[in-house]
Structure 1
Amino acid sequence: MRVLFLGDIVGRPGREAVAGEMRRLREELALDVALANAENASGGLGLKPDEARRLLDSGLDVLTSGNHIWKYREIQDYMPRTTRLLRPANYPQGAPGSGLGVYSAGGGVSYAVLNLQGRTYMEALECPFRTADALLAQVPEDVRVILVDFHAEATSEKIAMAYHLAGRVSAVLGTHTHVQTSDARILRDAHGQGHTAALTDLGMCGPEESILGMEAAPILSRFLTGMPTRFRVAGGAVLLEGALLRIDEGTGRAQSIEIFRRRLI
């Protein structure tokens, strides 16, 4: 199975770039599955239902999210009506939607996606490690390919999650910081065999000349003066960043992981 998982989509530039390129990427990269984190796809913060639908219609199979997903109230009504948009599974009971989904990649092959959120320097949610343990027990035994989006701030927490799940899932991929890391690797299972692809952060799909997808000037002003400023999504060339994975469908073992990075003018 060939999988492309894109990092955080930022605002209109990232959203339109992903939507415009996705069908071409599916053909060019011979993708079986395409996913992206979309929690910042609307205005650089949050996700509107109409824009979630457009991204899914463009060729993405599943959207994951994180701590900004609740910015637009209407997403709370939309999320229970679709299985293709996930929110972090370790939100307390009663939060709309789900953090775990099982999907078909065609040809009788199924895969699971688990969305989790870290706690270091973020909201105090339920423990993501124990939540992962509990939800993995609910994945049907015949589903071998399991992809994890761990939306977290601290690199140490992301790497810890990768080791915690090594040998039990196909990939643990970090999101949230919008800065792509260079530590793509495959972790070994308890028998010493390569099994779980890991990357601390997928990066972002958003404006290249920016600070995390936002115009630099207001953010610089905030750093220099300490005064609040309104952040605005930047323009110009867009980067599409993420990871390209090859996974054995029968065992769930990751066979390769490559950094994906493409510049669109």
Structure 2
Amino acid sequence: MIPKSLLLLFTTSILIGSCTLLGAAGLTSQGQPTKTTPHQLTSTTANSVVNVDHASWDKILKTYVDATGDVDYKSLKDNREELQKYLKYVSGMQPNDNWSVQELLAFYINLYNAYTVDLIVENYPVKSIKDISGAWTKAIVPIGGRTLSLGGIENGVLRKMNEPRIHFAINCSSVSCPKLLNEAYTAGKINEQLDKATREFINSEKNQISENSLKLSSIFDWYKSDYLINGNESVIDFINPYTDIKISKNATIDYLDYNWNLNE
């Protein structure tokens, strides 16, 4: 039986329409390793017992995702075999504490994105991921002897790694989401890739930024506490290093409506 406090959290998450509908499976790591990301993350493959090969996912992304992050789900549905092979490969891995933080970040970001794309392909044609029952709460991702939900990967694993840039790397297949990068994340490029994804999203049309007024994606509202790390006292402190405009600490902040239509 779900405790009342958990039930309230779950109900609230549904009401705000977040891409992390927090079910019970989404609140803990479900046994997955969650290392804390250092303040100065470096990209490297040198300090991990395992280097996962994401080449097949990279090929899929380059084939079916354009430079703006739009996905050709129709064509991918007709050629789903390679995606299924990649999902079987990554689900056969068993991440542990001997994996580096770089390897873990790349692995779980790719895992989340690949299973989200496959979920859309399985249900295609569909107008929105929100039309798929239990999209973030059903346990559909087998990994390390357990089965996680997409919400479990995001909330139970990635958000616990103290790296707010993951919110601009994982993609919920919607127009207002940060774009799906058309290359796989890898330990050898993870810091640069996260920086690129963050900078591109913040400076995109999905936010309206001026010195004294901000109209931001709801992502900055839903996960507000995640950005208050490394000395940041506000969302503005997090955003400022990524913009060409110096934002005033007293700038007003409003949040934009989220467009959940499919990113195709």
TM over 0.5, shorter chain: no
Greater relative CO, 1 or 2 (CA 8 Å, sep 6+): 2
When you count strand as a share of all residues, which structure comes out higher? 1
Give the TM-score taking structure 2 as reference length: 0.28
Give the TM-score taking structure 1 as reference length: 0.28
